[in-house]
């Protein structure tokens, strides 16, 4: 009897919040999806009866573990590691590892939940997972990073494998960390398999994986612009962050004739009205990947402005590419962006816009690409890395790039198919529904598991 009542967002969310107290990031990620899929669920009673949304918001398992390691002075340090294996209905769990002091169960659950839909959108067979540790890599020596990664993997290796769960990088986990992690995994498991992606080219990594998230984000924007017969060329672009995603977003935008005028890090942002060039970007890559310095150094080197403690959303632009971290755009930022003329926002980061900002973007009917669609290029190329490892093959950069382009175009088409209403495309609705339907149908087919 009860099942005939339509499911409401309020009822669903109040249950979810009760079951997951003190996890605001997770609540936020679920609410954004639930809002768009509940009307669909109410039209398909079999989904309601099978409690698909309730099951989909409860991870298969959450693994929490101690990471003990020694710093360079010989002091014993203790951190908390975690892996959330969220849903493997359409493939092995897949998602990155984040090393940052703000990592909590809530943050890893929000990221793992988003990953389910993102991975489904890529068209590749990957489930959703995420992991990390409340470890701060800033200021640590290479040897300390190595010892931490080895201690982390000493525990994590029991739970992962090429057909079980395949981690990758995220904030604070780049090429260096992946190499230490994979080296330890290989040793502990005594096998060389594609159980981690983002590896170096010499030991099973894929071409274009480093570039994939940033390039993919720009390809997604290209698709949105092309649908209204427009292009990146000549557009002023504001990019936040200065890590992996921001660097390769900037690289592709410059290549396509866009003018990137900002970058940021956790200390503030730089504004360069002349726009970045490939040479200036090389300086940033060396600064961030090699010297691990601060973005303020850019301002000194190129006589740009450095604005301490602020984010770049007050700088007028046509297109914005938030590519740093979650909740970096609030309602005031969203309003300012639109008032200053921005008509496209592409989320390179995961959940960079809070729920109020998303509402403002959707209501204003600008082009708004949610992270689970726009930044799916990274995990898509990770999926291609898994395929290459399984076949013991290595594809050329052109081959991988052209597959990345077609995957981003396909994700765009799925968003249009499920998000079109008249001449407006709601990419948030489109991405959520397309990802949800695929996973929900698989769960239904399995019965109650
Ligand atoms: P990096 O660690 O390479 O870079 C992160 C950047 O964001 C740095 O500039 C960092 O500044 C800044 N940042 C991190 N945390 C904060 C914070 N709390 N406040 C302000 N700035 C912050 O990470 P990625 O570029 O890989 O990741 C960026 C985003 O993209 C994340 O949301 C990630 O989940 C998402 N993403 C990444 C993918 C990938 O393939 N790498 C795939 C899909 C999504 P600082 O150096 O000062 O810490």
The protein residue whose alpha carbon is closest to atom 40 in ligand 1 is 378
Q: How far is the CA of 173 from the centre of ligand 1 (A)?
A: 10
CA distance 302 to 312: 18
Q: How far is the CA of 248 from the centre of ligand 1 (A)?
A: 12
pLDDT digits (tens, 9 = 90+) for 416-426: 999 999 999 99
**pLDDT at residue number 1:** 43
Nearest-atom number in ligand 1 for the CA of 100 is 15
- Nearest residue to 30 via CA among 44, 47, 14: 14
245 lines ligand 1 (CB under 6 A): yes
CA angle 306, 311, 312 (to 5 degrees): 75
Give me the mean pLDDT over the 129-150 stretch. 98
287 lines ligand 1 (CB under 6 A): no
**pLDDT at residue number 5:** 83
In terms of Cβ atoms closer than 10 Å to its own Cβ (0-12, 13-18, 19+), residue 70 is middle
pLDDT digits (tens, 9 = 90+) for 100-126: 999 999 999 999 999 999 999 999 999
pLDDT digits (tens, 9 = 90+) for 308-331: 999 999 999 999 999 999 999 999
CA distance 222 to 229: 10
> Which domains, from first to last, does the chain contain?
9-56 (no CATH), 61-192 (3.40.50.10860), 212-374 (3.40.50.720)
Per-residue confidence band for 186, with pLDDT thresholds at 50, 70 and 90:
very high
Pocket test for ligand 1, best of 244, 312, 369 (most atoms within 8 A of CB): 244
Q: How far is the CA of 431 from the centre of ligand 1 (A)?
A: 22
CA distance 32 to 38: 11
pTM above 0.95, yes or no: yes
- Nearest residue to 322 via CA among 380, 242, 405: 242
Q: How far is the CA of 226 from the centre of ligand 1 (A)?
A: 28
How do the residues of the chain divide into helix, strand and coil, expressed in percent and rounded to 5? Answer: 50, 15, 30
């Amino acid at each position: 009897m009860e099942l005939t009542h339509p499911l409401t967002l309020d009822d669903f969310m109040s249950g979810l919040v009760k079951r997951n107290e003190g996890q605001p990031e997770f609540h936020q990620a679920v609410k954004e999806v639930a809002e768009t899929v509940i009307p669909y669920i109410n039209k398909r009673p079999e989904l309601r009866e099978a409690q698909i949304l309730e099951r989909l918001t409860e991870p298969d398992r959450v693994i929490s573990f101690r990471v003990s390691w020694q710093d360079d002075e010989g002091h014993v340090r203790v951190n908390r590691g975690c892996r959330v294996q969220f849903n493997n209905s359409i493939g092995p769990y897949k998602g990155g590892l984040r090393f940052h002091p703000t990592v909590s169960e809530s943050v890893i659950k929000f990221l793992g939940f988003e990953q389910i839909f993102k991975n489904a959108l890529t068209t590749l067979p990957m489930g959703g997972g995420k992991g990390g540790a409340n470890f701060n890599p800033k200021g640590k020596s290479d040897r300390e990073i190595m010892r931490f990664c080895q201690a982390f993997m000493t525990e994590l290796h029991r739970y992962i494998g090429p057909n079980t769960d395949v981690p990758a990088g995220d904030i604070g986990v780049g090429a260096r960390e992946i190499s230490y992690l994979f080296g330890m995994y290989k040793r502990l498991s005594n096998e060389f398999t594609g159980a981690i992606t983002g590896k170096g080219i010499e030991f099973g990594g894929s071409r274009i994986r480093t570039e994939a998230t940033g390039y993919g984000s720009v390809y997604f924007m290209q698709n949105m612009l092309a649908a209204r017969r427009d292009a990146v060329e000549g557009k002023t672009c504001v990019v936040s962050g200065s890590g992996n995603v921001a660097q390769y977003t900037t690289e592709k935008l410059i290549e396509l004739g866009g003018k990137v005028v900002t970058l940021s890090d956790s200390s503030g942002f730089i504004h360069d009205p002349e726009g970045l060039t490939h040479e200036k970007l090389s300086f940033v890559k060396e600064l961030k990947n090699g010297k691990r310095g601060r973005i303020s150094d850019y301002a000194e080197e190129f006589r740009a402005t450095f604005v301490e403690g602020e984010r770049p959303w007050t700088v007028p632009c046509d297109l914005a590419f938030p590519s740093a971290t979650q909740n970096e755009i609030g309602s005031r930022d969203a309003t300012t962006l639109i008032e200053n003329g921005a008509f496209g926002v592409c989320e390179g980061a995961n959940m960079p816009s809070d729920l109020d900002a998303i509402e403002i973007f959707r209501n204003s009917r600008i082009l708004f690409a949610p992270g689970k669609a726009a930044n799916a290029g990274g995990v898509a190329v990770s999926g291609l890395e898994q395929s290459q490892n399984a076949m013991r093959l290595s594809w050329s950069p052109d081959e991988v790039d052209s597959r990345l382009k077609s995957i981003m175009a396909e994700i765009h088409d799925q968003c249009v198919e499920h998000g079109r209403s008249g001449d407006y495309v709601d990419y948030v609705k489109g991405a959520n529904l397309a990802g949800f339907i695929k996973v929900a149908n698989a769960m239904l087919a399995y019965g109650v598991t």
